[in-house]
Structure 1
């Protein structure tokens, strides 16, 4: 904990992607913890640098609204289940715990060892936060999850970097391990995937890494068919979208020819009794 945090230019790959997301959440959300973390590493609100982007791009605007939607879903879940445990897969440098904490929340963050080490150097300590340093595809993280209350698993900005088969296998593993519990994740439509592979998704000097899979609201029935019978798979519509594509985000999932082109935020409730 006494080590000096790395400067932004020293980060690369996963760490840089996490820093970029943290920077834009600090700009557009009320997130004092994110602001303090950025100040530690010399990338505060006043000095974002060309790599992070000084203005709000369409991409940054979308990611901020996605964070608000996940925050709202977690708060709603906690209001119904005060003893809940939240597991966040691929946590990055997100400071979501401090945005949604109700004083009782137990939080488990899963990410690669290099990201966990960075979090432990930068984030405020809490005895209600547990870090698990492994791939989200490694079943080791499941062994760290207590089973004494309702469970919400979130995967924000993660599944589009996994191959479709990996997503399905992870969901099936969670269905076996956590019957009756809930997972929330977001996906990207096909054109996100294409633009990312062409290296055309940018914000300032930052390029969004190439995606590995896509899924739109139209594809949810296909996803449901690959999961255990009785699994509930539903699209969570964006409630308070604003900006140039607000109507597209709020209503696109209802329009047949547009449903393939909008991002999907998905709620999965695993069946209590899995039919194998």
Structure 2
């Protein structure tokens, strides 16, 4: 059912006149007559009785009138809401565990201060899985490690990371690379780096607990690649040997190019 035809119907019903309805809508009388006929044809009922003094609603017209009022009101309310909406009611956020540890709490606090009515939904996963979630429209934005370099992805912001190789100070580490989660980009980059540097293979272990990983490294059971902020947060800065990495593993805040959130400008300036 065409809402524009319903608007014409309501104007004629309210004024009880084709000519007055046309005047109210700033249409020609013939245009209004044509549209009423189109509506009657689509519904299969006559909606007005034509009289010498104007028009009167038929029984079918009387039944349609309150329905048409409700439909038009809902359309106008929806249009007004969308025109005045400057942020999403729900923002679905994906993040790696490292970002959830060092960045997400402050990010959430700032969003809550600036957009108190906006609801947030979260998912924690590896970088590769988060990129897939963004591409599948399952999250609106995601904090991922490294440049995703994908044609369908828009980069909203970049957060610089101080990435360090973490080793025990006084022990020769075993050939194990610790990561938080399987498929972690940190683990993949570190493995590639160590194999090239030391010409030997490493096994990997996902422990899903940063403090446990740091203590395993401290005890000589292996090595890990972390943001310096995480090492500092858990109090291991002075306990461990830290080596700065030459490669870049900054955090990228991303979304789909064809699904950019309404708060994108805000996110770009954070």
- Whether TM-score is above 0.5 comes out as no
Greater relative contact order structure (CA < 8 Å, 6+ sep): 2
Greater per-residue strand proportion: 2
TM-score, with length taken from structure 2: 0.23
Structure with larger Rg: 2
